[in-house]
Each structure stands twice: as structure tokens, then as C-alpha cells.
Amino acid sequence: MIKTEYIIRSNEPIADGVYRMRLEGDTGAIKAPGQFIDISVPELFLRRPISVSDWDASGLTIIYKVVGAGTDKLSAMRPGAALPALSGLGNGFDMDKCARHTAVIGGGVGVPPMYGLAKRLLERGHEVTAMLGFNGTGDMMLVQEFEALGCRTLVSTADGSFGVRGFVTALLPMADFGSFCACGPEPMLRALEGAVGDKPGQISLEERMGCGFGACMGCTKQTKNGPKRVCKDGPVFDREVLIW
């Protein structure tokens, strides 16, 4: 973890209430897809944790949904503004545990961190199927970007407006994969746990966080290995240690 400052280079809407922000600055602490940064938003006390969608030597990309005061302020910020942040938080996905053919499964704003994972798995020579679930076409994001990477990309929408009608679990029978990595809202992850059989997997949890680095214990979750802090011990956990 490092304390740093990023400069906004772009901040644009890509779906209903969803923005993509490109930040320039130090990414040296980001070691694995699935890690996050904790942004200090002007005039607000608590930082806002947001997953890293992608990164390179010059900066990173985050994708966030406007759901409260903090993300609303973020959406109004313009290029050139500075954002203090803690960077390189959390553990990220362990790509050494991924099978030759891995499914990356995302729902809603759980989709963005799966992009960076898919990109790096493909660079390692893995076959990747992206399974992306949305409420409807207005929520859809990054579908063309996953396709451009070279992923086989499957999409479900709850209202049937695009792809397969239903939740992301409806996509599971459409691919024969050896392992999976997933991120999304808890109801999605709970349903996935019951539908994916005995395949090995890693699951990134979404949780409210206070400090973002394990000090406040506010995001503690009970696991089969005892209480764990989602921000520090996670947000990624092997599926078999989670209690649903």
C-alpha cells in the first residue's frame, strides 16, 4: 500500500449512472488484478474504495457507479483535478490458481475488475470466457472491450433486452471451464455458489469499508477460517472458505 496522488485525465459516462475515470500517477503498489484504491473525495471524511479495472506504468482506470454523495462528487470532477488516494489495497486474484480455461464472471459494477483479470490471463496464454450480467441494456458496460481482448463473451440481462434472459448464472451451461473468478453483488455470488458445482473458484466480495487497510475492522466477515477483513485479507477469497 502507498499513499499517493492521482491526476484525472478523463471522467466520462459509459452507462446509466456509471463513469469511467482514467487517473495518471504511481501504480507501483498494484500487483494483481482485483486490488483497489481508496480515494479521498473533496469535503468528505471517509475515503471511497473503488476496484481497479486496468492499469499500466503511467496510471490506472476505475469504473464506478453513482450511488451516494461521494461518487456523485467524483462524477462532477474534471480532467486536471488531483485525487489523493491509498493505492495497491487488498490481495487481488491469484492467477496461479486459475485453470487453463477460466471463466471470469461479473455482475453490474463487479464487471470492471474482471476486465483487468481477463487481460492478464490472456497474456499468460489462458483461454478466457467472460460471463457478464446486467439488469438491462442501460447498465451494460465493457462488453465490446472484453470481445476486443479476445475473450469469448457471454451476456445476460434480467429483463431480456440483450443476450440471454435471466441472471448471470444462466450463462454457466454455455461454457466448459475449469475454474472461475467472480465479482458482483452478494445475491449474485450466493446464487453462483449454488450453481457452479464443484469447480474451484475465487470470489471478490463487495463490502462497506471504513479505513480500507484493516485497522477499523468494519468490513469483517466470518469465514470457515475465522473472521477475516474484506479490505485486508480479501477482497478475494477462495470459494471454499466463504460461508453463505
Q: For the domain that residue 34 is a member of, what is the CATH number?
A: 2.40.30.10
Q: Are residues 100 and 171 in the same domain?
A: yes
By the 10 Å C-beta count (0-12 exposed, 13-18 middle, 19+ buried), 144 is classed as exposed
Q: Are residues 158 and 185 in the same domain?
A: yes
- What does the pLDDT read at residue 242? 95
Distance separating alpha carbons of residues 180 and 105, to the nearest angstrom = 7
Q: What is the pLDDT along the chain (244 residues), one digit of tens a residue?
A: 899 999 999 999 999 999 999 999 999 999 999 999 999 998 888 889 999 999 999 999 999 999 999 999 999 999 999 999 999 999 999 999 999 999 999 999 999 999 999 999 999 999 999 999 999 999 999 999 999 999 999 999 999 999 999 999 999 999 999 999 999 999 999 999 999 999 999 999 987 777 777 778 778 999 999 999 999 999 999 999 999 8
- What does the pLDDT read at residue 243? 93
Distance separating alpha carbons of residues 224 and 7, to the nearest angstrom = 41
End residue of a domain, out of 74, 89, 104: 89
- What does the pLDDT read at residue 45? 82
Q: Are residues 64 and 129 in the same domain?
A: no
| 220 located within any domain | no
Q: Are residues 107 and 164 in the same domain?
A: yes
- Look up the domain containing 132 and give its range: 95-206
Distance separating alpha carbons of residues 48 and 135, to the nearest angstrom = 24
Count of structural domains within the chain: 2
Q: Are residues 200 and 144 in the same domain?
A: yes
| 40 located within any domain | yes
Cell 475473450 sits on residue: 151
- What does the pLDDT read at residue 56? 97
| 237 located within any domain | no
- What does the pLDDT read at residue 213? 77
Whether the model clears a pTM of 0.85, i.e. scores above it, the answer is yes
Cα 44 off chain centre by? 23
| 76 located within any domain | yes
Distance separating alpha carbons of residues 122 and 23, to the nearest angstrom = 24
**Residue 105 near residue 193 (C-beta atoms within 8 A):** no
- What does the pLDDT read at residue 211? 78
| 211 located within any domain | no
Q: For the domain that residue 121 is a member of, what is the CATH number?
A: 3.40.50.80
Distance separating alpha carbons of residues 222 and 243, to the nearest angstrom = 7
| 222 located within any domain | no
Q: Are residues 107 and 84 in the same domain?
A: no
Cα 163 off chain centre by? 21
